[in-house]
Amino acid sequence: MKINLPITGQEKRYSDDMTLVSKTDTKGIITFANRDFVEISGYSEEELVGTNHNIIRHPDMPPAAFEVMWKTLKRGLPWQGIVKNRCKSGDHYWVDAKVVPIKKSGEIIGYMSVRKAAARADIEAAEAAYKLAATAPETIKETAVAGWKKYLSIKNGIPLWILFVTLMMIAGGILGIGGLNLSNSAIQSLYYEEMDPVQVIGRINFLMADNRAQVALALHHDPVTHPTAQHDHPMTFHTQTLVKNKEEIDRLWEPYVKRIANETEKGLAEQYWQARNRYVQEGLLKARQALEAGDYPQAEQILLNNVNPLYDQANASVSVLLKHLSDRGLAKFTQVTARNQTIAAVAIAGIVSGCLILIVCGIFFFRVTVMPLHKAVLALEDIAEGNLSGAVDSGGYGEPGRVMAAVTVMQMHLKVMMHEIQQSSDSIHSQCHSLNQLMMNLAEQSEEQHDRVYQTLDAIVESSSGLKAMAASAAALMQSVEGAEVGTAEGAAEAPASALEPMPAELLALFGESPEATPALEPKAASAAAAAARPAVSGGLERQTQEVASAASVQAMAVEETARQLRQIAGLIVNNREAVQGAWAASQHLEQTARELENLVKYFE
């Protein structure tokens, strides 16, 4: 870890309105630093950009804090913490820093840090934590959610919710269907094991009673005791009924005995069957024999002495058996009822428990999903209203946590964008001001150059006019010289004095003479002098005059060309001045754009 020294121990405080922004690549090299960061750090922008961000790291910061920060950032999550940074001078300043990853096409391409002035209470807590971490680094732990909570997400929660509800429905169905099956089984068991034997025993008991009744009815066929009895059937009907009843009793008793599994019931049934056999053997059979023999008094005696007492004994045994079956049936009924009640209680408990679990899970789901999403919506609404300073909790887990992290990253990006726009707007203002000053100077110089060009042009035009006049005078002089060579001496002597006029001042200047230096001659003397001088100067004067005329014409043309070029230059100067005016208008428009950008930045506070 880099240790930046020296340190002064002096804290540098700054306004809460200042926001320190920096961007780095994935290796920590600074790629952007805003004005506030440059001002507070004490480094120039040139010293910061291209340098590793640890240039501002303070020796008091424990390495564990940065390890936690990098772990969080490499997972693509934002990190927030109180950080102590070092100024270039050795002073330090505290920041409440939010660091977010910068992604492109899903890949992290850098990191962005947005820092505000930390609250004094947070600074004191951070100082204490960092002092403790110097000897116990494990005290600084990652605040991001870890462990089982990382699996809490909508993607996992909804399938689990569906699975839980499905299992509850299956469990309820199993419980309900199983309960119905148990109830059906219990009812069948109650019927076949308890009711059917009761019905069988009851039918047997009824047949036994019917047998006794058949013996008593058969006595009514005694002609002695019932001489006037009217019967529509013979006495043998009753004896045959006794045989049929006995056969039916035997047929009913055999399967019943085979189904008996209870020892108590088996013992009671055995007692009853023995009593029934005595009833049959010692009572009914003897009574039937007496009836068939026509011995009605004997049959009556057997009825009173044997059949009735034996029937009572058998009936007492069957009553004990029926009571046992009834008690067992009641016990099974009670058992089935209790089991059904248990099933109902379990079903109710399952329903109540399921409802409670669903309610608890619903509340938990609401807290971990809906509430964070609601906070994310509020944060987005604040951002839409231009508030970029609102606190956004980037914690949480699952999809809501990712949404909150994305909102935090978006808020930080927008805040940094606003700072960059503000910085660019200020730069535009500064550059436009310099450009306007330069264009103003250029416009003034162009105006001055324009005036000087036209002054020069006026002088050239005047010179051109003089050269044209000189050429014309030279041409007139040539004509005069040619006329003098053709005339005779007499003509010359008689010529008027006006024929020889003074030489123009321009030609005299060419010959180095001045008008005042040439004396006026008398006409005759002038004629004589001219006649005498003509042979000597005629050739030279003519040649010089021609050269002067030619030079004057050439110079006049050159001066006119120069004047034309100056007019073009003047036109170019005018065009340049118009271009400067256009550039001035563009600069004003650019400044207006900068002001609009400032208004946009002011909207996002």
State yes or no: pLDDT of 445 exceeds 50. Answer: yes
Reported as a pLDDT band with limits 50, 70 and 90, residue 40 is very high
Better pLDDT: 450 or 296: 296
Better pLDDT: 244 or 344: 244
Q: According to the model, what pLDDT value does residue 510 have?
A: 44
pTM assigned to the model: 0.51
What is the spatial distance between Cα 429 and Cα 286, in angstroms, rounded to a whole number? 141
Give the range with max mean pLDDT: 26-35, 161-170, 454-463, 594-603.
26-35
State yes or no: pLDDT of 301 exceeds 90. Answer: yes
DSSP string covering 282-347, please? IIIHHHHHHHHTT-HHHHHHHIIIIIHHHHHHHHHHHHHHHHHHHHHHHHHHHHHHHHHHHHHHHH
Using CA atoms, how far residue 462 sits from 118, 312, 508, 510, 549, in Å, is 80, 174, 20, 19, 18
Strands 107-117, 20-25: parallel, antiparallel or unpaired by DSSP?
Answer: antiparallel
Alpha helices in 487-522 (DSSP H): 489-494, 505-510
Q: Which two tokens stand for residue 447?
A: 């105006």
Q: How far is CA 299 from the centre of its chain?
A: 108
State yes or no: pLDDT of 65 exceeds 90. Answer: no
State yes or no: pLDDT of 368 exceeds 50. Answer: yes
What is the residue whose two structure tokens read 């070029």? 565
Q: Examine residue 535 and say whether the peptide bond preceding it is cis (omega within 30 degrees of 0).
A: no
Instruction: Indicate the average pLDDT of the chain.
Output: 79
The type of residue at 23 is K
State yes or no: pLDDT of 244 exceeds 90. Answer: yes
Reported as a pLDDT band with limits 50, 70 and 90, residue 521 is very low
State yes or no: pLDDT of 457 exceeds 80. Answer: no
Better pLDDT: 520 or 332: 332
% the chain with pLDDT above 70 = 83
Q: According to the model, what pLDDT value does residue 490 have?
A: 45
Q: According to the model, what pLDDT value does residue 578 have?
A: 80
Count of positions (residues) in the chain: 605
Q: According to the model, what pLDDT value does residue 542 have?
A: 67
Q: According to the model, what pLDDT value does residue 517 have?
A: 43
Better pLDDT: 593 or 240: 240
Q: According to the model, what pLDDT value does residue 305 have?
A: 93
State yes or no: pLDDT of 251 exceeds 60. Answer: yes
The answer to whether 61 touches 130, Cβ cutoff 8 Å, is yes
State yes or no: pLDDT of 518 exceeds 70. Answer: no
Sheet of 107-117, strand order: 30-33, 20-25, 107-117, 92-104, 79-86
47-74 average pLDDT score: 89
575-600 average pLDDT score: 81
Q: Among 375, 415, 402, which residue's Cα sits nearest to residue 76?
A: 402
The answer to whether 429 touches 591, Cβ cutoff 8 Å, is yes
The answer to whether 372 touches 404, Cβ cutoff 8 Å, is yes
End-to-end CA distance of the chain: 37
Q: According to the model, what pLDDT value does residue 1 have?
A: 56
Q: According to the model, what pLDDT value does residue 189 have?
A: 66
What is the residue whose two structure tokens read 């804090």? 65
Burial of 577 (0-12, 13-18, 19+ CB in 10 A): middle
What is the spatial distance between Cα 591 and Cα 605, in angstroms, rounded to a whole number? 22
Q: According to the model, what pLDDT value does residue 256 have?
A: 86
Q: How many CB atoms lie within 10 A of CB 210?
A: 16
Q: According to the model, what pLDDT value does residue 118 have?
A: 92
What is the spatial distance between Cα 1 and Cα 273, in angstroms, rounded to a whole number? 105
Three-state DSSP state, 143: coil
What is the spatial distance between Cα 212 and Cα 280, in angstroms, rounded to a whole number? 10
State yes or no: pLDDT of 537 exceeds 60. Answer: no
Q: According to the model, what pLDDT value does residue 153 have?
A: 67
Q: What digits encode the pLDDT tens for the residues 482-511?
A: 666 555 444 444 444 444 444 455 444 444
Q: Which two tokens stand for residue 24?
A: 């780095």
Q: According to the model, what pLDDT value does residue 481 have?
A: 64
Q: Range with the lowest mean pLDDT among 89-103, 295-309, 408-422?
A: 408-422
Q: Among 498, 473, 499, which residue's Cα sits nearest to residue 486?
A: 499
The answer to whether 432 touches 594, Cβ cutoff 8 Å, is yes
What is the spatial distance between Cα 374 and Cα 186, in angstroms, rounded to a whole number? 55
Three-state DSSP state, 350: helix
Using CA atoms, how far residue 403 sits from 212, 214, 338, 365, 380, in Å, is 95, 96, 54, 16, 11
DSSP string covering 39-59, please? HHH---HHHHTTSBGGGGB-T
The type of residue at 127 is E
Q: Is the dihedral of CA 409, 410, 415, 421 positive or negative?
A: positive
Better pLDDT: 247 or 494: 247
Give the range with max mean pLDDT: 220-229, 311-320, 469-478, 596-605.
311-320
State yes or no: pLDDT of 254 exceeds 70. Answer: yes
Q: According to the model, what pLDDT value does residue 346 have?
A: 83
State yes or no: pLDDT of 119 exceeds 70. Answer: yes
Q: According to the model, what pLDDT value does residue 493 have?
A: 43
Reported as a pLDDT band with limits 50, 70 and 90, residue 2 is low
Give the range with max mean pLDDT: 145-149, 185-189, 283-287, 371-375.
283-287
Strands 30-33, 79-86: parallel, antiparallel or unpaired by DSSP?
Answer: unpaired
275-303 average pLDDT score: 91
Q: Range with the lowest mean pLDDT among 13-22, 25-34, 376-385, 426-435?
A: 376-385
Q: According to the model, what pLDDT value does residue 261 have?
A: 79
The answer to whether 601 touches 422, Cβ cutoff 8 Å, is yes
State yes or no: pLDDT of 231 exceeds 50. Answer: yes
